């Protein structure tokens, strides 16, 4: 990609800031050191978190790119930033679960830690004020959040990402329990996997000890939050610098 000029900030979310560049199709994604949970009710700053999520997310996107997953990610720029294609995000959080934990256990009263017979895909309507409520595909179609073709593509890509990441992480001694993806449309109409894939957006359990190596350490006050993110980065082959 080479040189680019970072221009004005165009969006600030809970974990990232987006900046324009001279190319209207390309943005700079900058990872922040902030942690939030429970729709922003619980907050903290941890120095080094943005760097780790940027490194981890770039590594994972690089792995998915090799298998032909269509991505907004272009390349990592430095410790905190990535270049990405500008997309319009579908207002849907797509969650895939391999094992039951978290909100599904609370919502449905099902057993904790049960392996599902096949991956479960859920949709949530992306709206912090409403607490990101779970919705069905029909809600997405009827309210015009995505078309039938888009939903089909989104599900196919999500299942493929699951296969690729389950395989990648199992080799690193990590169980991919569940994760959340977001998708967007680029200016040329391409449907792309967007946002980030990191310990903020996945649940990673150590295969032998069951240790939580993800944001649940923050959500549940388990301690050593950044140590867990460091461990994910280390197992992905990352170096300290
Ligand atoms: P949940 O069990 O809380 O619904 O979370 C399912 C997965 O989605 C888990 O890997 C964490 C991730 N997630 C996010 O990335 N953002 C969110 O806002 C929520 C609620 C979950
Ligand atoms: N990401 C959401 C928030 O910041 C919730 C979560 O991940 O638990 O509020």
The dihedrals phi and psi of 201, each to the nearest 5 degrees, come to: -115, 5
Distance CA 43, CA 183 (A): 25
Q: Is residue 237 part of a domain?
A: no
Q: Which residues pair with 19 in a beta bridge?
A: 9, 28
Q: Is residue 128 part of a domain?
A: yes
Reply yes or no on whether the pLDDT at 169 is more than 70. Answer: yes
Its domain, for residue 43, covers 9-87
Distance CA 76, CA 15 (A): 17
Q: Is residue 56 part of a domain?
A: yes
Q: Which of 53, 87, 121 is the last residue of a domain?
A: 87
Are residues 93 and 208 part of one domain? yes
Are residues 175 and 127 part of one domain? yes
Query: Any idea what the CATH number is for the domain that residue 136 is in?
Result: 3.30.470.20
Q: Which residues pair with 199 in a beta bridge?
A: none
Q: Which of 60, 87, 114 is the last residue of a domain?
A: 87
User: Which residue is closest in CA terms to ligand 2's atom 8?
Assistant: 37
Question: Which residues, 6+ apart, have CB-to-CB distance to 189 below 8 Å?
Answer: none
Ligand 1 neighbour 213 (Cβ under 6 A): no
Query: Any idea what the CATH number is for the domain that residue 69 is in?
Result: 3.30.200.20
Distance CA 227, CA 230 (A): 5
Ligand 2 neighbour 131 (Cβ under 6 A): no
| Mean predicted confidence (pLDDT) in 55-81 | 98
Q: Is residue 2 part of a domain?
A: no
For residue 220, name the pLDDT band (cuts at 50, 70, 90).
very high
Q: 185-217 pLDDT, tens per residue?
A: 999 999 999 999 999 999 999 999 999 999 999
Q: Is residue 230 part of a domain?
A: no
pLDDT for the residue 1:
59
């Amino acid at each position: 990609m080479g040189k680019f000029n970072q221009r004005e900030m165009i969006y600030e979310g809970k974990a990232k800031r987006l900046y324009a560049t001279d190319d209207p199709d390309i943005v700079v994604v900058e990872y922040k050191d902030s942690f939030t949970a429970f729709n922003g009710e619980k907050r903290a700053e941890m120095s080094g978190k943005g760097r780790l999520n940027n490194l981890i997310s770039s590594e994972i996107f690089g792995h998915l790119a090799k298998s032909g997953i269509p991505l907004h990610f272009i390349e990592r720029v430095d410790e905190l930033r990535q270049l990405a294609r500008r997309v319009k995000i579908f207002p849907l959080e797509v969650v895939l679960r391999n094992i039951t934990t978290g909100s599904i256990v609370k919502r449905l009263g099902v057993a904790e830690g049960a392996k599902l017979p096949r991956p479960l895909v859920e949709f949530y309507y992306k709206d912090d004020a409403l607490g990101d409520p779970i919705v069905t595909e029909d809600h997405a179609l009827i309210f015009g959040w995505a078309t039938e073709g888009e939903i089909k593509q989104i599900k196919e890509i999500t299942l493929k990402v699951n296969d690729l990441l389950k395989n990648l992480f199992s080799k690193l001694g990590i169980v991919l329990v569940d994760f959340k993806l977001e998708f967007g449309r680029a200016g040329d109409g391409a449907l792309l996997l967007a946002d980030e894939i990191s310990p903020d957006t996945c649940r990673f359990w150590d295969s032998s000890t069951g240790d939580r190596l993800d944001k649940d350490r923050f959500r549940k006050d388990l301690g050593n939050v950044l140590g867990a993110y460091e461990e994910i980065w280390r197992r992905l082959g990352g170096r300290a610098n």
